[in-house]
Chains A and B, each alone.
Chain A
Amino acid sequence: MNVLSAARRSGKAHLGLREALLSNAVAYLFLAPALLFFVVFQAGPLITTIVLSFYEGGILSGFSYSGFDNYLTLWSDREFYQTIKFTLLYFVIIVPSVLAVSLAMAVLLNDKFIRGKNFFKAAIFFPSLAPMVTLSTLWLFMIFPNVGLINMLLAVVNVREVEWLSSPLMATLTIVLVELWRGVGFYMVIFLAGLVAIPEELYEAAELDGAGPIRQFWSITLPQLRPTITFCLIMAVIFNFQLFDAVYMITGGGPGGSTESIAWYIFSNAFKYDQLGLASATSTLLLLAVMSITAVLLKVLPSDR
Chain B
Amino acid sequence: MSAIDIRGLGKHYAGTDVLRQVDLTIDEGEFIVLVGPSGCGKSTLLRIIAGLEDISEGELYIGGLLSNAVKARARNVAMVFQSYALYPHMTVEENIGFALKVAGLSKAERHRRVRDVARSLGLENLLQRKPKALSGGQRQRVAIGRAIVRHPKVFLMDEPLSNLDAKLRVEMRAEMRALHSRLGVTTVYVTHDQVEALTLGTRVAVLRPIGESGNTNVQQFATPTELFERPHNVFVAGFMGSPPMNILLARLVRRGGALEISMGDIVIALPQAMQSQALADAAGRADGYIVIGVRPADIGVAPPGGVAFNTRITDMEMLGDHSSVSFSARTPAVPFDFDFTAKDVYTSLLGGSSLTKISARLEGRLRLRANDEVSLAIDPARIYFFDAQTGLALGNP
Contacts and interface: CB of A to CB of B under 8 A. Distances in A.
Contact of B87 (A208, A210, A220): A220
A66 interface: no
**What 4 A-B pairs are tightest by C-beta distance, nearest first?**
A209-B99, A201-B85, A223-B89, A205-B85
Contact of A211 (B51, B73, B150): B73
A204 interface: yes
B53 to A, nearest CB: 10
A208 B103 contact: no
A207 B73 contact: yes
Contacts of B87: 202, 205-206, 219-220, 223
Interface string B83-107: 1011111100000001100110000
Interface stretch (B74-82, B205-213, B380-388): B74-82
Contacts of A208: 50-52, 72-73, 77-79
B192 interface: no
A212 interface: yes
Given A202-B88, A209-B102, 12 more contacts: A204-B50, A205-B81, A205-B86, A206-B98, A207-B51, A208-B51, A208-B72, A209-B73, A210-B103, A211-B102, A215-B102, A220-B87
B146 interface: yes
B81 A210 contact: no
B78 A201 contact: no
Nearest to A226: B89
Given A210-B73, A210-B103, A305-B89, A204 B98 contact: no
Interface of B: 50-52, 71-73, 77-79, 81, 83, 85-90, 98-99, 102-103, 146, 150
A53 interface: no
A284 interface: no
B85 A199 contact: yes
A208 B87 CA distance: 13
A223 B94 CA distance: 13
Contact of B83 (A201, A212, A226): A201
A294 B115 CA distance: 41
Interface of A: 199, 201-202, 204-212, 215, 219-220, 223-224, 226, 305
A223 B90 CA distance: 9
B70 to A, nearest CB: 12
B85 A202 contact: yes
Among A199, A208, A223, the one with the most B-chain Cβ atoms within 10 Å of its Cβ is A208
Contact of A209 (B71, B88, B98): B98
- Main secondary structure, interface of A, reads helix
Contacts of B99: 209-210
B88 A219 contact: no
A206 B98 CA distance: 8
Contacts of B90: 223
Among A202, A209, A219, A223, the one with the most B-chain Cβ atoms within 10 Å of its Cβ is A209
B275 to A, nearest CB: 55
A226 B79 CA distance: 27
B283 to A, nearest CB: 54
A202 B102 CA distance: 15
A177 to B, nearest CB: 35
A199 B73 contact: no
A40 B146 CA distance: 59
B83 A207 contact: no
B270 to A, nearest CB: 53
A209 B89 contact: no
B73 A204 contact: no
A199 B72 contact: no
Contacts of B150: 209
21 contacts: A201-B85, A202-B87, A204-B52, A204-B72, A204-B81, A205-B146, A206-B98, A207-B52, A208-B73, A208-B78, A209-B73, A209-B99, A209-B146, A209-B150, A211-B98, A219-B87, A219-B98, A223-B87, A223-B89, A224-B88, A224-B89
A199 B102 contact: no
A227 to B, nearest CB: 11
Nearest to B47: A204
A42 B89 CA distance: 39
A205 B147 CA distance: 10
